[in-house]
Amino acid sequence: MPRKNAPAESGHKNNPNVMGLRAAVVEEPITRTLETNYMPYAMSVIVSRAIPEIDGFKPSHRKLLYTMYKMGLLGGARTKSANIVGQTMRLNPHGDAAIYDTMVRLSSGYGALLTPFVDSKGNFGKSYSRDMSCAAPRYTEARLTPICNELFRDLDADAVDFVDNYDNTMKEPSLLPTTFPNILVSANSGIAVGMASQFCGFNLKEVCETAAAFLKNPDCDLSATLPAPDFPTGGELLFDPDAIREIYETGRGSVRVRAKYRYVKAENLIEIYEIPYSATSEAILDKVAKLIKEGKAREISDMRDETDLSGLKLAIDLKRGTDPDKLMARLFKSTPLEDSFACNFNVLIRGVPQVLGVRQILSEWAAWRTESVRRRVAFALRRKEERLHLLKGLRKILLDIDRAVKIIRETEEESEVVPNLMIGFGIDKTQAEYVAEIKLRNLNREYLLKRTEEIGGLEAETADLQATLDDPKRVRKIIIGELRAAAKKYGEPRRTAILYQYAADDAPDDAPAEYPVNAFLSREGYFKKITPLSLRMGGEQKFKEGDALRQSFQTTSGAEIMFFTDRCQVYKTRLSEFDDAKASVLGDYLPAKLGMDSGENVLYAVLPGDYSGFMLFFFENGKAARVPLSSYETKSNRRRLSGAYSDKSPLVSMLSLTEETEIALYSTDSRCLLFHTSMIPPKAARSAQGVNVMALKGKHTLEKALPASETPIANPARYRAKTLPSAGATLRQDDTEEKQLSMI
């Protein structure tokens, strides 16, 4: 026990620094930490980075284009991209690489947009290529394309709000006053925190026509003027009215696009010159090469990329007698030559992300554009009213110019000139300052008469502008006129053709006819497929030294086959993936052919057919699992399934069961048990541990399992069980003569 009045222990307990540190540590709920630390970041990504707004731009796009506009690159000569990137960093603090990537995506050279906003010169890469990267910004040049006139026309007319940049040193527009619904024209994508956005592009001319029709009648049929999306890489869109309707109504859905090709008969090759927007030429080449390697595209002798300055071109050399249309139908099904584009029309509306359909987007754009036009008209009205006010003051001195000069001359102090003019002619301060600033050379009757003659025209113009502000129909008419002008000046024909009638994607492959074959599996995992004729002529089967036959089958060349391994996995494939062999060869080594894990070995092969049978698994602990073959059936083309059977106890044997039969179990203590398979209930789960079948004593285990018909048992009644589990009976000498070896 400690001594009474013992001195205090030395160490950190009395250390004031440590005690102060402890006092500084304050527990805080995780929810509060997320709110104070994570939520501001998440909202910044959503509102200020990843989700486009109603003008169709994300902040990075807007900052870049506005910088180029202020640099005089709208209609001016190109300048180095590095110069643009450097200037943009005054608005965008995220670094030069991010800014240049944004410029590349908006450029005409890259080809990601139907209506590019950056006129590029030099290597900007290609959107359809994964490996064709852009040159450094010091080598390329850029300027704004003419369509940017539609973005900046009203920028200096108070059509949109301006906000401070990130360091409060300059102003930038919060939105660009686009005269057309750019949100539907420009393809856009972004990933925020907890949400994403994916816009497909639509044809500019069709969007403008649809917007005009919507302004006239909000209940108009959108599909009449906007049939389907349009993609800059072209291709052919497989028209599905239900899918299009879903996208238009909900803003979510997907469309399928396939490549365009032509057959060059003289050279017996196929040229692919347009591909889906979501695919790349390298991904297509890789997939076709894989099909050729797997023997699924034997009609192709070679495929190469012949893309040059004239555009994309993938060439496929065909073997003699190949039907190009049938081959392409198969390639559409199994390669990115046909791909889906998923739509998620998530847009920021007044700072709130919303997933909107096309009609809702048009409604929001029309309301926003109406406000922009009203602000522009109000700005013009204010300017003209200010001018009119000045000229009315000038008209008051027109009749007595000499008195105005006399007042100015007789005024002793400069600061009294304006007040004296105000008193002398009954005008306000603004008008008096305007009169006082008139040059001496302009104090002639001709100049003053010309200025005052503008009053009538200005009064008519202000009245017209005020009438426009007071009449929503006139504002709507202005917007429609601008839409039609943009469509006429910048509209282009569709690039993506629409296929209203096309072959279904679930059409059967043009597979070769099946024929009878014999299949052989060796103990060490070698597999070969031999035709009956070759088998009759080939003589004795060849195996690796120390290897032997495990299983053999008579089936057809296209049958499906499953290989169970010692890693509780099953590999599914078809015999058509194996070349016809001869009896004199070893065959394919399955671990390499099927891409098995290191050290994994094949135990058993099964022809599932229509998946109507069962698999029986027997384990050392005396349990047996009966699993329906349908548990191994998959809708997808997965080649490997894990958890093929239970791993709770070592596997002893597995059998494929097509009909009920008797099974003989042998234990390590020389006991045997016969039972009928109907006594084992089926388990739906592949990895089921099963039920107790053989009651084992001490440390003895189950040794093997065989169909009763393959055993030398002469007295089956001695070993037959009426109920399970059962210990069986001790083997007699006359029932132990080996008749056939176990398969495992």
Q: What is the pLDDT of residues 87-101, one digit of tens each?
A: 999 999 888 999 999
**What does the pLDDT look like over 691-726, one tens digit per residue?**
999 999 888 999 999 999 888 888 888 999 989 999
Contact predicate 704/742, CB 8 Å: yes
Of 117-126, 503-512, 669-678, where does mean pLDDT reach its minimum? 503-512
pLDDT given at position 539 = 72
User: What is the rounded distance in angstroms from the CA atom of residue 420 to the CA atom of residue 433?
Assistant: 11
Task: Retrieve residue 320's tokens.
Answer: 């003699």
pLDDT given at position 32 = 82
Task: State the pTM of this model.
Answer: 0.67
User: Which among 38, 41, 69, 139 is annotated as catalytic?
Assistant: 139
Q: Does residue 81 surpass a pLDDT of 90? A: yes
What pLDDT band is residue 384 in, cutting at 50, 70 and 90?
very high
Q: Calculate mean pLDDT across residues 457-466.
A: 93
Of 242-246, 362-366, 436-440, 508-512, where does mean pLDDT reach its minimum? 508-512
**CA atoms within 13 A of residue 642's CA, in its CB half-sphere:** 2
What pLDDT band is residue 633 in, cutting at 50, 70 and 90?
confident
User: What are the distances in angstroms from CA 593 to CA 143, 478, 589?
Assistant: 55, 69, 6
**What does the pLDDT look like over 545-572, one tens digit per residue?**
889 999 999 998 888 999 999 999 999 9
**What does the pLDDT look like over 172-206, one tens digit per residue?**
999 999 999 999 999 998 888 878 899 999 999 99
Query: Which residues lie below 8 Å from residue 550, measured CB to CB, with a gap of 6+?
Result: 521, 522, 523, 604, 605, 743
pLDDT given at position 636 = 57
> Rounded to 5 degrees, what are φ and ψ at 538?
-85, -15
Task: Retrieve residue 708's tokens.
Answer: 């009763």
pLDDT given at position 444 = 76
> Rounded to 5 degrees, what are φ and ψ at 188?
-150, 145
Query: Which residues lie below 8 Å from residue 402, measured CB to CB, with a gap of 6+?
Result: none
What pLDDT band is residue 739 in, cutting at 50, 70 and 90?
very low
**What does the pLDDT look like over 97-120, one tens digit per residue?**
999 999 999 999 999 999 999 999
- Rounded to a whole number of angstroms, the distance between the first and last alpha carbons of the chain is 69
Query: What does DSSP say about strands 560-565 and 569-574: parallel, antiparallel, or unpaired?
Result: antiparallel
In the chain the domains, ranked by start, together with CATH numbers, are 51-178 (3.90.199.10), 260-336 (3.30.1360.40), 362-490 (1.10.268.10), 516-735 (2.120.10.90)
The percent of residues in the chain predicted with pLDDT above 90, rounded, is 61
128 is catalytic: no
429 or 35, which is more confident: 429
Q: Calculate mean pLDDT across residues 265-292.
A: 93
pLDDT given at position 22 = 52
Closest CA to 241 of 267, 221, 268: 221
Query: Which residues lie below 8 Å from residue 405, measured CB to CB, with a gap of 6+?
Result: 443
pLDDT given at position 214 = 96
What pLDDT band is residue 503 in, cutting at 50, 70 and 90?
low
Q: Does residue 373 surpass a pLDDT of 80? A: yes
Q: Calculate mean pLDDT across residues 616-638.
A: 86
pLDDT given at position 15 = 56
What pLDDT band is residue 24 in, cutting at 50, 70 and 90?
low
Q: Does residue 741 surpass a pLDDT of 50? A: no
- Provide the CA 25 distance to its chain's centre, in angstroms: 44
What pLDDT band is residue 391 in, cutting at 50, 70 and 90?
confident
Closest CA to 54 of 491, 252, 358, 350: 350
pLDDT given at position 225 = 95
Mean per-residue pLDDT over the chain, rounded: 88
User: What is the rounded distance in angstroms from the CA atom of residue 293 to the CA atom of residue 575?
Assistant: 15
User: What are the distances in angstroms from CA 6 to CA 2, 3, 9, 10, 15?
Assistant: 7, 5, 9, 12, 18
User: What is the rounded distance in angstroms from the CA atom of residue 551 to the CA atom of residue 544?
Assistant: 15
DSSP 8-state symbol, 695: -
pLDDT given at position 637 = 58
33 or 309, which is more confident: 309
Counted residue by residue, the chain has a size of: 744
